[in-house]
């Protein structure tokens, strides 16, 4: 079985990630479809749970 030719290069992926990070985005995942389209999943670096004491929206009943 022969290997199929890829429709993207590592340099293209690296450029896309670098551009997103330069824009201040945190890249969580890179997805490449069979046609070679590169999709970046971006978002907060580490989402804070609602019940986390570090969350601005979290409140302890003891503090009220």
pLDDT score of 27 more than 60:
yes
- Pull the structure tokens for residue 14: 């690296």
Note the pLDDT of residue 7.
82
Instruction: Domain ranges for the chain, please list them.
Output: 1-44
Please name the residue that has the structure tokens 């890179």.
Answer: 30
For residues 12-37, give the mean pLDDT.
Answer: 91
Lowest mean pLDDT among 22-31, 41-50, 54-63: 54-63
Rounded Cα distance, 63 and 50, in Å: 16
Taking the C-alpha atoms of residue 64 and residue 47, their distance in angstroms, rounded to an integer, is: 25
In 3D space, the residue among 54, 4, 47, 23 whose CA is nearest the CA of residue 15 turns out to be 23
């Amino acid at each position: 079985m022969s290997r199929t030719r890829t429709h993207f290069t590592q340099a293209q992926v690296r450029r896309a990630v670098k551009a997103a990070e330069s824009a201040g985005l945190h890249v969580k995942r890179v997805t490449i479809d069979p046609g070679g389209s590169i999709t970046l999943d971006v978002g907060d670096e580490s989402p804070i749970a609602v019940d986390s004491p570090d969350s601005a929206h979290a409140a302890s009943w003891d503090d009220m």
